[in-house]
């Protein structure tokens, strides 16, 4: 753990995409990264992918104090480890986790690190996990989204946010593991109790939904229905393991789920669209006693209406932010599953771009044209 006031000498300069104002382009600037506290690691970022959570921060839906460096799906290598870091060394290949946790609060004791009191309390401030800054620009502190700040050549993170994976793992594909892939695969393998031969429905085929489809495949389900209005996404869903693909028409989807289950409905529905219609569809399409996992989200002040009858009959509803992630054990496993050829990450990368292309990359994500654009920094593959 970091000791207050204990610092290393390291202070490096890095090019970074800095968000100074919501709903405005990020600017590429030189920032100072460090110095390290005893529990930190300094990473050279090799690849960072563009996720909707960053977009929420850009658009002001996710409150982040500015100026800030966003970027939370990233991979890199350890350049320096703080004095108290014993399990990481220089040159280690790591994937960033956005769930550092204190390990001793009420929620950590309940094995719910995603609810860690320190994690949630310090989140909006967007400094380091200990609440103090690590980045600066012309002596003014710069914030780091989710304690990370991956849209930069270097970042400094708590050691527990840097998860070592196989050296054989390409950086650009490793970057995907830390958020969207973990959330989607985890929904199927950590949250849902999927049985061999079950029928699963996945609503929304962005990075999270496509990962959920792959998680369902890894769990051995019998049929996977992918639901998305975008024909290219449905095609990709089929390539990644969906056995059936439908438009987002609710009646058609419910009918298909019932036709595959003797009229009961899907055993498990994983929602990854973040639309009120998707939340409603999830409850209409699941069978009595079935499981619904909501991964998407809408505005925190928004209200979503349901037909009461759709909530009846012993349905189990779970809302998850990170797919039940336990990054230290799950990220190496996901990486190995990719290396074994059982998790397709190659086809989830829509574009490889430079740091200077970041604003256009987010515009493309917002338009729904890309699943994942990955910013390639030096030596990314
Ligand atoms: Zn905690
Ligand atoms: Zn993300």
Residue 5 pLDDT: 37
Tell me the CA–centroid distance for residue 9 and ligand 2, in Å.
31
Tell me the CA–centroid distance for residue 258 and ligand 2, in Å.
33
Tell me the CA–centroid distance for residue 246 and ligand 1, in Å.
41
Q: Give dist(CA 65, CA 124) in Å, integer.
A: 7
Got the DSSP string for 242-276?
-SEEE-S-HHHHHHHHHHTTTTS-EEEEEE-S--H
Residues of the chain with pLDDT under 50: 1-8, 381
Pick the closest to residue 143 from 219, 70, 240, 48 (CA basis).
70
Decide: 72 and 175 in contact? Cβ < 8 Å: no
Q: Which residue intervals of 97-221 are DSSP H helices?
A: 106-109, 117-122, 171-176, 182-186, 207-219
Tell me the CA–centroid distance for residue 17 and ligand 2, in Å.
17
Q: Give dist(CA 82, CA 4) in Å, integer.
A: 13
Tell me the CA–centroid distance for residue 338 and ligand 2, in Å.
19
Residue 123 pLDDT: 86
Tell me the CA–centroid distance for residue 6 and ligand 2, in Å.
31
Residue 4 pLDDT: 38
Q: Which residue intervals of the chain are DSSP H helices?
A: 52-58, 106-109, 117-122, 171-176, 182-186, 207-219, 231-240, 250-259, 276-285, 327-339, 358-366
Tell me the CA–centroid distance for residue 327 and ligand 1, in Å.
15
- Residue ranges near ligand 2 (ion) with Cβ within 5 Å: 51, 53, 179
């Amino acid at each position: 753990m970091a000791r207050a006031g204990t610092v290393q000498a390291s202070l490096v300069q890095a090019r970074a995409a800095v968000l100074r104002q919501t709903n405005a382009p990020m600017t590429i600037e030189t920032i100072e990264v460090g110095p390290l506290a005893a529990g930190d690691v300094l990473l050279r970022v090799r690849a960072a992918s563009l996720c909707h959570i960053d977009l929420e921060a850009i658009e002001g839906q996710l409150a982040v104090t500015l100026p800030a460096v966003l970027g939370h799906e990233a991979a890199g290598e350890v350049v320096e480890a703080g004095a108290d870091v014993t399990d990481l060394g220089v040159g280690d290949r790591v994937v960033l986790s956005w769930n550092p946790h204190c390990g001793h609060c009420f929620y950590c004791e309940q094995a719910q690190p995603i609810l860690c009191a320190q994690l949630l309390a310090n989140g909006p401030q967007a400094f380091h996990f200990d609440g103090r800054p690590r980045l600066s620009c012309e002596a003014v502190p710069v914030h780091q989204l989710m304690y990370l700040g991956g849209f930069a050549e270097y970042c400094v993170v708590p050691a527990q946010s840097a998860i070592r994976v196989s050296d054989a793992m390409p950086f650009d594909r490793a970057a995907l593991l830390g958020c969207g892939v973990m959330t989607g695969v985890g929904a199927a393998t950590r949250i849902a109790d999927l049985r061999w031969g079950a029928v699963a429905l996945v609503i929304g085929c962005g990075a999270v939904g496509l990962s959920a489809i792959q998680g369902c495949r890894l769990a051995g389900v019998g049929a996977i229905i992918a639901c998305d209005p975008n024909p290219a996404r449905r095609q990709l869903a089929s390539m990644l393991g969906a056995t059936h693909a439908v438009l987002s028409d609710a009646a058609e989807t419910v009918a298909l789920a019932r036709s595959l289950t003797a009229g009961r409905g899907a055993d498990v529905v994983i929602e990854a669209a973040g639309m009120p219609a998707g939340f409603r569809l999830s409850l209409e399409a699941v069978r009595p006693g079935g499981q619904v996992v909501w991964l998407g989200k809408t505005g925190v002040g928004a209200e979503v209406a349901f037909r009461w009858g759709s909530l009846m009959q012993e349905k189990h509803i779970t809302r998850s932010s990170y797919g039940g992630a336990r990054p230290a054990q799950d990220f190496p496993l996901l990486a190995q599953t990719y290396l074994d050829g059982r998790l397709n990450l190659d086809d989830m990368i829509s574009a490889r771009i430079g740091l200077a292309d970041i604003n256009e990359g987010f515009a493309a994500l917002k338009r729904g044209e890309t699943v994942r654009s990955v910013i390639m920094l030096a030596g990314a593959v």
